Amino acid sequence: MKKIICPLVGLVLLVGGYYLYTHWALGNDSVAQTPDEYTTYSQSDIGLEFNYFAGPTGYTINENVTSDLNAGLVKNIILARTQDTISPPPVGSEYPPAIIISVFENTKKQFPRNWADENTQESNIKLIRGDVEEVVVGGANAIQYMTDGLYSSENVVVANDDYIYVITGQYIDQNSPIVRDYEDIIKSIRFIPTPGQS
């Protein structure tokens, strides 16, 4: 009987410990895998949630939490194709196209276009190709536009509560799968309460 109870108790303690770690120590923020290989990125500190395709044929997330006060940058979330992260690019070459979400403080409570025009380095709006279009993303006011540069990119600037979110999808070819994946991420964006909000 003791031979059965000891492993059972150990298993319960292991599962319970993991549950406490993921729900208490991690503060309920998570990257949760769903069966169809779509993953939910959820971070309450920046009030953002979205779905993306993960795994060997999908994307890997790398977060860069910064103390750079330029334009109030809080965090960069970089979604790189998993196959592109296996080895670094050769010396002197550029990193492959990626999807980048930059989160900034919006202390002035600016609308997306005003913020983009005041922060041209961060919004890249000086390299615009075509027109700026007003849209809604995740129920919040936003603008979208295309830019040229090292890579062509689709850009969305969203204002929600205390943050500005600049979401950029870089590509070499307009028919590249990264363009579709970027659009899917934009469609899936949800804004969630940040600590201190009800």
* Tens digit of each residue's pLDDT (9 = 90 or more) over 28-70: 444 554 445 889 999 999 999 999 999 898 999 999 876 566 6
Q: How far apart are CA 67 and CA 198, in angstroms?
A: 27
Which are the contacts of 8, defined by CB distance < 8 A and separation ≥ 6? none
Question: Where residue 155 falls among pLDDT bands split at 50, 70, 90?
Answer: very high
Structure pTM?
0.79
Answer whether 97's CB lies under 8 Å from 122's CB.
no
Task: Provide CB contacts within 8 A for 114, sequence distance 6+.
Answer: none
pLDDT at 65: 76
Q: Rounded mean pLDDT of the chain?
A: 83
